[in-house]
Amino acid sequence: MNTWERIDRTGFYPGLVSAALRRALGAAEPVASICQADAAFDRGSMFRHLTLAALGESVLVFIHVDELEDGSAAVSTTTHPLAQLGSLAVMEVWSDPAERAQLAELTLTLDLGAMRRSEIEPARCEDPDCMADHGYSATSFPDDLTIRVSRAADGEAELEAAYAFAEALSQRLGNAHD
């Protein structure tokens, strides 16, 4: 299944998603993609959202669509030149590892290299009765993209597409950093 069919099959505003991807890629066709529609719950309401990662010859396009409370949709599109991306981590879970016969799930994490996010919180000591001000501690994380696809949740076809996406991205990242 190609990227455009994958977008249509999700049924989640395929016209918006296709338009955003065409704008990001121009006349180029995507080489590989992962597309996931999901639901989330917030304050007692259910909202749908879609994540698409599409690989071009020299760019990675990341599209996220959120269904908003009033029924509208927010579309976020980010285009990342492959030469500016950081490391790629791929975790594979094999149900029959000795034979490498059946991939059960794949998790792909990519350092997008563009930004970092920080979490700041009050510092504490080990004494539960301590009332002293210990200042703050901060942790900085790279801006990353993590996508998990499993046979049980997403099906065989999506897992195969995710594997092909990981292989194509890995190959292009190696070439982009030469």
- Is the whole model's pTM more than 0.75, yes or no? yes
Q: Name the pLDDT band for 175 (thresholds 50, 70, 90).
A: low
pLDDT digits (tens, 9 = 90+) for 33-60: 999 998 888 777 888 999 999 999 999 9
Q: Is the pLDDT of residue 141 over 90?
A: no
Of 23 and 134, the structure prediction assigns the larger pLDDT to 23
CA neighbor of 27 nearest in space, from 63, 61, 67, 56 = 56
Q: Is the pLDDT of residue 166 over 90?
A: yes
- In sequence order, what DSSP letters do the residues of 113-145 get, joined into one string? EEEEEEEEEE---S-TT------EEEEEEEEEE
